[in-house]
C-alpha cells in the first residue's frame, strides 16, 4: 500500500455518554474514522483535544428568512454559520426553499429535510407554509413526505384571531389520517406546538415528535413518555416569547399573557419532560428571525433547565444522531466531528469555542 496522508486526532475521544465510552485517539483515513493505526502511512496533521461527534441542530430552517424563502447565497451563509459553530448535521424542520443543492457541497453540513411546513389557512407566518384546509391535509402530507428525508412538519397550533389566543389547528380525525398517511410513506411526523390544547390529539394520533412543547403539563407528560414521543424544546427561541408578547397586549391580551406564562415555566417544563423519560433533543429554530449557529447556546440552556451536562450533550450529539439514524464516532463512519479545548462534560460552554471541525474527513474550521 502506498503512503497516504491521514489525520490523527489524540486526546480524549468521547464515543458515547458513559464513562467507558472514551478512547485516546482516532485516525481519519480517506474521510472515515479508524481506531487502528494505519500501516504504510504518515500523519499529515495531528490535532489534540476533546472529541465529540459533529453537533446536531434538530430544529432549524436552512433557506428560510423573515419573509419566507431566501436565495441560494443566503442559504449558503446560513449553512456555513452552522458549520463554523461545529454543527454538522441539521434536521431542517420546514423550509419553502429547495436546498437539495447543498447535498452536492462537501463543505456544507448534512441536512435531513421535512419538506415545507403544512399549516391551516391564515394560521401561521405568511409565506412560510402550505396553507390548506383539513380535507387537503392527507394529500399535502403525502406530497411533503415524498419530498423530504423521512420527516413531515405540521403546524399544530397558532394564534386564532377570533379566539384571541393559541388554539389547535386541526380536527382529531384529520391528524389521525395525516399521520397514518405519513407513516405509510415511510416518514415520521413532527408538529409545531406552543400551547396545551393540541398535544393529546396529536400524540394519541401517533405523532413522533413535538417541536417547542411549551404546553406540556402533568396531564400530558406521562402520555408522551408512554408513547415515546420526542420533544425539541428550542429554548433559545422560547426566550423570545416576552418580546413577541409585548406588542400584542392591546389587541390580543389573552395570547400575550399565555405566551408569558409558557415562557415563565419553560425550564420546569423541560426538566419535568426529561425526568419522566421523554426523549429530549437540541434544536434552535434558526431561520426566520433567529440566527444560525446557536446549538452551543441551546445545550447550555438545557443544562440551565436542569438536564445533567452529559444528557444535554447527548441531546446534540450521540443521542440526536441515533434518533436521526446517523452514525457518531464509530469505526468506518464518515469523520464528522468537533475537537474541543477541554472536557465538555465539565462545562458545556466549551462547545462555543471548537478547536477544529472535521466534516466528511476534511478540516473545515
Q: Are residues 272 and 312 in the same domain?
A: yes
In CATH, what number is assigned to the domain containing residue 178? 3.20.20.140
> With 0-12 CB in 10 A as exposed, 13-18 as middle and 19+ as buried, what is 132?
middle
Distances (CA, A) of 254 to 170, 216, 261: 21, 19, 11
Residue 237: all three cell numbers together: 427561541
| One domain for residues 42 and 155 | no
Q: What is each CA distance from 81 to 5, 93, 355, in whole angstroms?
A: 28, 17, 16
The total number of structural domains in the chain stands at: 2
Same domain, 319 and 331: no
Q: For residue 348, which of 307, 306, 313 has the smallest C-alpha distance?
A: 313
Which residues contact residue 102 at a Cβ distance below 8 angstroms, ignoring those fewer than 6 apart? 62, 75, 76, 79, 108, 109, 111
User: pLDDT tens digits for 229-269?
Assistant: 999 999 999 999 999 999 999 999 999 999 999 999 999 99
Per-residue pLDDT tens over the stretch 53-89: 999 999 999 999 999 999 999 999 999 999 999 999 9
Residue where one domain finishes, among candidates 292, 307, 323: 323
Residues 6+ apart with CB under 8 A from 228: 279
Same domain? 127 vs 39: no
Asked if residue 187 and residue 258 are part of one domain, the reply reads yes
C-alpha cell of residue 251: 389587541
pLDDT of residue 6: 86
Q: Are residues 338 and 307 in the same domain?
A: no
* Judgement on whether residues 209 and 338 belong to the same structural domain of the protein: no
Q: Do 75 and 193 belong to one domain?
A: yes
CATH of the domain at 43: 2.30.40.10
Are 60 and 82 a contacting pair, CB within 8 Å? Answer: yes
Domain co-membership, 76 together with 32: no
Neighbour tally for 289: CB within 10 Å:
14
Question: Based on the domain organization, do 209 and 264 belong to the same domain?
Answer: yes
* Nine cell digits for residue 59: 430544529
CA dist 84 and 89 (Å) reads 12
Using DSSP's 3-state secondary structure scheme, residue 36 falls into: coil
* pTM, 2 dp: 0.96
Give the residue carrying C-alpha cell 400551547.
195
Rounded CA-CA distance 101/111 in Å is 11
- Range of the structural domain that residue 123 is part of: 55-323
Tens of pLDDT, residue by residue, the chain (365 residues): 345 678 999 999 999 999 889 999 999 999 999 999 888 766 567 889 999 999 999 999 999 999 999 999 999 999 999 999 999 999 999 999 999 999 999 999 999 999 999 999 999 999 999 999 999 999 999 999 999 999 999 999 999 999 999 999 999 999 999 999 999 999 999 999 999 999 999 999 999 999 999 999 999 999 999 999 999 999 999 999 999 999 999 999 999 999 999 999 999 999 999 999 999 999 999 998 899 999 999 999 999 999 999 999 999 999 999 999 999 999 999 999 999 999 999 999 999 999 999 999 999 97
3-state class (DSSP) for residue 339: strand
Give yes or no: residues 271 and 228 share one domain: yes
Q: In whole angstroms, give the CA distance from residue 216 to residue 230.
A: 12
One-character DSSP codes across 199-257: HHHHHHTT--EEEE-TT--TTTHHHHHHHT-EEE--HHHHTTHHHHHGGGTTT-HHHHH
CB 86 within 8 A of CB 51: no
Work out the widest C-alpha separation in the chain, in whole angstroms. 74
Q: Which of 218, 189, 187, 219 is nearest to 205 (CA)?
A: 189
> How far is Cα 51 from Cα 333, in angstroms, rounded to an integer?
15
Residue 27 sits in the same domain as residue 127: no
Residue of 325, 330, 321, 332 whose CA lies nearest to 150: 325
Amino acid at each position: 500500500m502506498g503512503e497516504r496522508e491521514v489525520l490523527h486526532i489524540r486526546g480524549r475521544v468521547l464515543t458515547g455518554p458513559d464513562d467507558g465510552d472514551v478512547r485516546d485517539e482516532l485516525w481519519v483515513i480517506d474521510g472515515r474514522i479508524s481506531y487502528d493505526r494505519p500501516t504504510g502511512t504518515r500523519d499529515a496533521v495531528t490535532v489534540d483535544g476533546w472529541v465529540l461527534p459533529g453537533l446536531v441542530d434538530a430544529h432549524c430552517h436552512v433557506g428560510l428568512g423573515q419573509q419566507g424563502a431566501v436565495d441560494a447565497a443566503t442559504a449558503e451563509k446560513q449553512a456555513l454559520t452552522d458549520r463554523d459553530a461545529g454543527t454538522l448535521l441539521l434536521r431542517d424542520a420546514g423550509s419553502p426553499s429547495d436546498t437539495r443543492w447543498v447535498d452536492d457541497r462537501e463543505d456544507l453540513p448534512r441536512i435531513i429535510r421535512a419538506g415545507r411546513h403544512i399549516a391551516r389557512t391564515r394560521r401561521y407566518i405568511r409565506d412560510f407554509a402550505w396553507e390548506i384546509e383539513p380535507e387537503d391535509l392527507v394529500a399535502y402530507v403525502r406530497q411533503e413526505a415524498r419530498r423530504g428525508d423521512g420527516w413531515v412538519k405540521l403546524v399544530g397550533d397558532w394564534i386564532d384571531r377570533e379566539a384571541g389566543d393559541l388554539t389547535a389547528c386541526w380536527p382529531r380525525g384529520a391528524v389521525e389520517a395525516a399521520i397514518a398517511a405519513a407513516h405509510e410513506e415511510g416518514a415520521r411526523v413532527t408538529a409545531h406546538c406552543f400551547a396545551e390544547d393540541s398535544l393529546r390529539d396529536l400524540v394519541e394520533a401517533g405523532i413522533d415528535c413535538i417541536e417547542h412543547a411549551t404546553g406540556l403539563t402533568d396531564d400530558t407528560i406521562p402520555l408522551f413518555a408512554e408513547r415515546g414521543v420526542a420533544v425539541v424544546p428550542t429554548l433559545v427561541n422560547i426566550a423570545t416569547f416576552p418580546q413577541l408578547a409585548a406588542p400584542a397586549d392591546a389587541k390580543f391580551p389573552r395570547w400575550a399573557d399565555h405566551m408569558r406564562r409558557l415562557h415563565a415555566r419553560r425550564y420546569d417544563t423541560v426538566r419535568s419532560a426529561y425526568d419522566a423519560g421523554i426523549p429530549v433533543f437540541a434544536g434552535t429554530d434558526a431561520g426566520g428571525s433567529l440566527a444560525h449557529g446557536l446549538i452551543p447556546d441551546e445545550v447550555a440552556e438545557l443544562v440551565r433547565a436542569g438536564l445533567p451536562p452529559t444528557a444535554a450533550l447527548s441531546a446534540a450529539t450521540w443521542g440526536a444522531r441515533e434518533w436521526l439514524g446517523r452514525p457518531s464516532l464509530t469505526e468506518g463512519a464518515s469523520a464528522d466531528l468537533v475537537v474541543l479545548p477541554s472536557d465538555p462534560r465539565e462545562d458545556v460552554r466549551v462547545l462555543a469555542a471548537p478547536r477544529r471541525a472535521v466534516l466528511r474527513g476534511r478540516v473545515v474550521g
